[in-house]
Amino acid sequence: MSQQQEIRLDLSQTTPITCECKNQFFQEVVMIRKWSRFASGLPTDQNVPIPVMVCTECKKINDETLPPAVKALIDKEKENA
């Protein structure tokens, strides 16, 4: 059996993530993407929930907290808009 290594987090060795508005507080919300049944091969379309963080003050999505694939997709959609 493999043994799992314990990771000790020292918060003094971290840096805060702040919004453009200088706020340091975020709330998790869910972005939903539709996955077509034709692309997935499943009998019906699927809703795919993606957790994202929004600023509690200005409500902007913080790009730093997005998974790279989601950020790239959002950037591409902004270009095409």
**Secondary structure of the chain as H, E, C letters:** CCCCCCCCCCHHHCCCCCCCCCCCCEEEEEEEEEECHHHHCCCCCEEEEEEEEEECCCCCECHHHCCHHHHHHHHHHHHHC
pLDDT digit string (tens) for the chain, length 81 residues: 567 788 898 999 999 999 999 999 999 999 999 999 999 999 999 999 999 999 999 999 888 888 898 889 888 888 887
Residue 42 lies in a domain: yes
Residue 3 lies in a domain: no
How much is the pTM?
0.68
Residue 4 lies in a domain: no
Residue 34 lies in a domain: yes
**Domain containing residue 69:** 16-80
Residue 5 lies in a domain: no
pLDDT for position 42: 93
Residue 63 lies in a domain: yes
Residue 10 lies in a domain: no
What domain count does the chain have?
1
Residue 69 lies in a domain: yes
